[in-house]
Amino acid sequence: MNPIFNPLFQPFTFRSGLQIPNRIVMAPMTNWSSHPDGSVSEEELRYYERRSGQVGLVITACVYVTPNGKGFHGEFAADRDDMIPSLQRLASAIQGRGTKAILQLYHGGRECPAELVPEGDVVSAGNVPNAQNPSVIPRPLTHTEIVSIVKDFGEATRRAIEAGYDGIEIHGANGYLFQQFFSPHTNNRDDQWGGSLTKRMAFPLAVVDEVIRVVDEHGKENFAVGYRFSPEEAESPGITMPDTLELIEALAQRELDYLHISLMDYSSHPRSGKERNRSRMAVILDKLDGRVPLIGVGAIRTAEDALNAYEIGVPLVALGRQLIVDPDWVKKVQEGKESDIVLTLTKDDQESLVIPAPMWKTIMNSTPGWFPIV
């Protein structure tokens, strides 16, 4: 291995005691390939097995924790105990290759297609529709329902523990329910769950506290808890970098193992706040000041990209699309063959890359530029 990449292959220990052998993480990516009942398919198991064994940590695609939170066709489930055997099969597929497995927990809120939720009852923090689907007006959740969903995340955490996962990640990013509560664009409430910045943070923080309580209650050692967030929104009003820095401050005071920033480009700069001449990751790292490790992600394709992200200060680097394109990315860097990393897809690659058919279809029909297809 080229010695300049040595930092990427140092072991890392989280606050909980969970240890991983290197700093490379597989980012969570939707694959649309589970069975209609929410159980994991054989195609998914093979897909994850193919990408385990080299990265230090795999964060799974998101699982819905309650029936009205299902946001994708072919999404797998953690909303009932019947799903524990299915969840366990996926954890074992990843861990059987020597990689730690993190289950990402999710609620889609207003982003859930009406045909996927009971009685078509799409819910959110407020009644603001998605601009891409303005005819679906989400129903604001009641206080009782919000408290119930908080408990649902705790129950899904228990199921992850019983299924043998090494941790869970709360999906607070990408416009889904947590972000809908945090955002002044989608949260137009005037109760304890909305209005001021502090009240808009109440739901995300309540879920974090409940998840940590459940982990403590079950006495699960070396079980990691992470939180993923999107730092800014394009809408006005919307989430600003100063808003996110306040959320990060509150999260840093919890016993979290990591935060995971969601970015399209790891080097992108803020659109708001005082420090627009530095990357978002650099600004957030300064705010964290080493209190909680940050996973960096976004258009990391080459070994040099990963090293650059690491050198900004993130201790852990996540690859998403690139691990679909080349599952042997880590091995090639370790063997000094980083110049052999494959950076593009062809229409004939599905079988060799072990990609489930629904996922492959989505990739092939995706907006130009999402995947490098030649």
Residue 53, C-beta contacts closer than 8 angstroms, at least 6 positions apart: 97, 98, 99
Residue 111, C-beta contacts closer than 8 angstroms, at least 6 positions apart: 71, 130, 175, 176
**DSSP tally for the chain: helices H, then strands E:** 13, 13
Instruction: Please say if the pLDDT value at position 310 is more than 90.
Output: yes
Q: How confident is the model at residue 368 (pLDDT cuts 50, 70, 90)?
A: confident
Tell me whether residue 310 is one of the annotated catalytic residues.
no
Q: Report pLDDT for 275.
A: 80
Report, as an integer, the average pLDDT of 186-191: 97
The CA-CA-CA angle for residues 108, 92, 333, to 5°, reads: 85
**How does 253-263 read in b/e, with b if 16+ C-beta sit within 10 Å?**
eeebbbbbbbb
**pLDDT tens digits along 2-13:** 999 999 999 999
Instruction: Please say if the pLDDT value at position 272 is more than 90.
Output: no
Residues 25 and 361 sit within 8 Å (Cβ to Cβ): no
Q: Name the E strands within the chain.
A: 12-13, 19-20, 24-26, 57-64, 76-77, 100-106, 123-124, 139-140, 167-172, 224-229, 258-261, 294-296, 316-319
Report, as an integer, the average pLDDT of 203-230: 96
Question: Catalytic one among 176, 227, 266, 310?
Answer: 176
The amino acid sitting at 229 is F
Between CA 83 and CA 314 the distance in angstroms is 34
Between CA 66 and CA 156 the distance in angstroms is 9
Between CA 158 and CA 307 the distance in angstroms is 36
Q: Report pLDDT for 353.
A: 98
Q: Report pLDDT for 369.
A: 85
**pLDDT tens digits along 103-153:** 999 999 999 999 999 999 999 999 999 988 899 999 999 999 999 999 999
In Å, how far are 24, 29, 47, 66 from 21, measured between CA atoms? Answer: 9, 22, 21, 34
CA atoms within 13 A on the CB side of 170: 30
Q: How confident is the model at residue 367 (pLDDT cuts 50, 70, 90)?
A: confident
Q: Report pLDDT for 192.
A: 98
Q: Report pLDDT for 358.
A: 97
- The tokens for 217 are 């209650």
Q: Report pLDDT for 307.
A: 97
Task: Please name which of 235, 244, 330 lies closest in space to residue 294, comparing C-alpha atoms.
Answer: 244
Residue % of the chain over a pLDDT of 90: 92
Task: Please name which of 220, 216, 247, 215 lies closest in space to residue 231, comparing C-alpha atoms.
Answer: 247
Residues 16 and 23 sit within 8 Å (Cβ to Cβ): no
Domains of the chain, first to last = 3-364 (3.20.20.70)
**pLDDT tens digits along 221-236:** 999 999 999 999 999 8
